[in-house]
Amino acid sequence: MQLSKMIPEVDTHTHTVISGHAWSTLTENCLAARTRGMKGLCLTEHGPAIEGGAPAYIPHSQRMLPETVEGIRVYKGVELNILDHRGTVDIPLEYLKLCEFAIASIHTHMFPERDKREENTEVYLKMLRNPYLDILGHADDPTVPCDFEAMVRTAGEEGKLLELNNNSTTAHRPGSLPSLRKYILCCKAHRQRVCVASDAHFHTMVGSVEPMMTLLEELDFPQELIVNLTKERFDNYLKERIRRIRAIPD
Ligand SMILES: [Zn+2]
Ligand SMILES: [Zn+2]
C-alpha cells in the first residue's frame, strides 16, 4: 500500500490535559485512535519545566493506568525537556527508569543560545547515548540548528530512533519543511529507523499524520524503517529496549 494511505498503528507522541496546555483526556485520545483503526499510543506528557507541565513523578503516577484504554494499548512514556547544553533534563533518572518509551526534546522558548550548532548537536548526541531515552523529539526544528549526519550516525550506533513529527509539516512549526526534508533524506541514506508521530495536543490530532506520510512517499522513504507503522514492529523495538536496559552494568 502507498505510504500516503497508511496510518501508523501506534502514535508515539501524544499529550493530554495533564501537560497543562493540551485539550483532551487520555480516554478521548484512545477513542480517537480506535476510530482510526489504530492499536496503540504513547502517553508522553511534557516534563515540569514547561509552564503547567506534568510533575516530575508523572512516570510513577502513570503506573496506576491500565495497559489498555478503550481497546488501545497505552505505552507509558514521557517527553522530557533538555534544558541546556550540558544536558540537564527535567525528569530525574529514578522516574525516567519507570517509562516504557522516552522522548527527549528541546523546546525553543525555554532553550537559550540555540543558535550554537555544535553545542546543540553535542547535547542531542548525549541524549542518544542515554540508554533510558529512545528518541529525539522534533529535532529537525530549524530554530535549533544541528548536524543531522552526526545525529543519525549516533542514533544508528546506539540502536535509537528519530522522530518525524507531523507538526513540522504544519503552521505550528513554520518554515520547517526544507529542514525536515533534509532530515528525512539523511535518515533514508543511512537506513536510520524513525517513528512518525502526531504530537497530538487534541484528540482529533491523534494518528493524524497524513502530511508526513505523503512527504515520505514523495521522498520514496522505505516503509520498513518506520518502526511504529505496525504495533508488532514497535513492540519488537521495545523488546530491544528492554535488552539494552538489562545490559546496563549495576
Ligand atoms: Zn515537543
Ligand atoms: Zn510534544
Ordered structural domains, the chain, with CATH: 3-246 (3.20.20.140)
pLDDT tens digits in sequence order for the chain, 250 residues long? 899 999 999 999 999 999 999 999 999 999 999 999 999 999 999 999 999 999 999 999 999 999 999 999 999 999 999 999 999 999 999 999 999 999 999 999 999 899 999 999 999 999 999 999 999 999 999 999 999 999 999 999 999 999 999 999 987 777 789 999 999 999 999 999 999 999 999 999 999 999 999 999 999 999 999 999 999 999 999 999 999 999 998 8
Cα–Cα distance list, 31 to 69, 100, 206 (Å): 8, 21, 10
Q: Which residues of 105-130 are buried (b: 16+ CB within 10 A; e: fewer)?
A: bbbeeebeebeeeeebbbbbbbbbeb
> What is residue 22's predicted lDDT score, i.e. its pLDDT?
97
CA of residue 107 to ligand 1 center, whole Å: 6
Tell me the ligand closest to 43's alpha carbon: 2
Cell of residue 189, nine digits = 541514506
Distance from Cα 248 to the centre of ligand 1, integer Å: 28
Ligand at minimal distance from the CA of 21 is 2
Ligand nearest to the CA of 54: 2
Please tell me the distance between residue 28's alpha carbon and the centre of ligand 2 in angstroms. 17
Q: In angstroms, what is the span from residue 79 Cα to ligand 1's centroid?
A: 7
Q: Which residues have CB atoms below 5 A from the ion given as ligand 1?
A: 105, 137
How far is Cα 139 from Cα 121, in angstroms, rounded to an integer? 10
Ligand 1 center from residue 224 Cα (angstroms): 25
Q: Which of 68, 73, 17, 23 is nearest to 45 (CA)?
A: 17
DSSP bridge partners of 101: 77
- Ligand closest to Cα of 173 equals 1
Q: How much distance in Å is there from the Cα of 3 to the middle of ligand 2?
A: 23
CA angle (164, 64, 28) in 5-degree steps? 55
- The ligand minimizing its distance to the Cα of 201 is 2
Q: What spacing in Å lies between the alpha carbon of 158 and ligand 2's midpoint?
A: 23
> Distance between CA atoms of 235 and 101, rounded to whole angstroms?
11
Determine the pLDDT at residue 176.
87
